[in-house]
Amino acid sequence: MNTNRLSKTITAALNVQMTKEAHAAQIYLSYAAWADKQGFSGTANFLFKHAHEERNHMMKILEYILKRGAEVVVTAVPAPLKNPTSIHDCFKNVFEQEVENTKAIYKVVKMSKEEEDWATWNFMQWFVQEQVEEETLSMNLLNKIKIAGGEKINGDALYSFDKDMGKDAGEVIPAQDVTTVNP
């Protein structure tokens, strides 16, 4: 008896989305390292936290595929985007990346609807909601930077923006304390 509860097309789409989440994690990770190198430690910790969240999203999809009796295919992850040129560029790219991810998620939702795979449709609603939150968050940060001058943001405004970002980092381990055993 076939115990696989996902179609071939849905399995393939979920595996693609799983890799996209891993790619998003790599982007946040490389941006975090960039920010830390520039001395923006608050921003770096915020971005490190998001790298971790994206990895959790990847795991969430992986676990769902396995739970439904289908096959997980772990593939190479594309290289992250090149380093941003400024804080404004950083959050502009973060916002655009989130919008692209939303579009990819909508494709899986559409596919699950067409196949009447209501379990996958229901599973994907968590991601739909998550994207609303992530888009709003990155949009708000980008707006803050725009109000402070965008590319022309001055040192004082940049300092207080970065300080605020540090406050939002929550449980994130400061970048300098991260090790391979305590990622």
- The residues that touch ligand FEO, with contacts defined as CB under 6 A, are 21, 24, 54, 57, 98, 101, 134
Residue with Cβ nearer ligand FEO (20 or 68): 20
Residue 130, Cβ density class (10 Å: 0-12 exposed, 13-18 middle, ≥19 buried)? middle
The nearest distance, CB 21 to ligand FEO, in angstroms, is 5
The nearest distance, CB 82 to ligand FEO, in angstroms, is 19
Residue with Cβ nearer ligand FEO (20 or 88): 20
Residue with smallest beta-carbon separation from ligand FEO = 57
Residue with Cβ nearer ligand FEO (7 or 26): 26
Residue with Cβ nearer ligand FEO (24 or 65): 24
The nearest distance, CB 138 to ligand FEO, in angstroms, is 9
The nearest distance, CB 157 to ligand FEO, in angstroms, is 26
